Amino acid sequence: MADVNPEPIATFCGNCNCGCPQLFLDSDAPEDKRVRITDDFGQQVQMSEEQFADLVAQAKAGALDQLTVASA
């Protein structure tokens, strides 16, 4: 079986067939663009693994919590 590149890491939502946002790791991309996040509108964000690690650390520390709170 051939390697899949970019390698799919996670799918967000996954409850439909609408082209849910996904996270990929592209080992063939330049170091500053190895992590790719795509959305269901065909857009993408690329960043380094270090930038992604910082994003995850900030999320774990609560920096993004306000985005997940339902509107009152």
User: pLDDT (tens digit, 0 to 9) for every residue of the chain, 72 residues total?
Assistant: 456 789 999 988 867 767 789 999 999 999 999 999 999 888 999 999 999 999 999 999 999 999 887 654
Q: What is the DSSP letter of 28?
A: T
Residues forming a β-bridge with 10: 23
How large a percentage of the chain has pLDDT more than 70? 86
Average pLDDT of the chain to the nearest whole number: 88
Distance CA 23, CA 39 (A): 9
For residue 36, the number of C-alpha atoms closer than 13 Å in the C-beta half-sphere is 18
Distance CA 22, CA 7 (A): 10
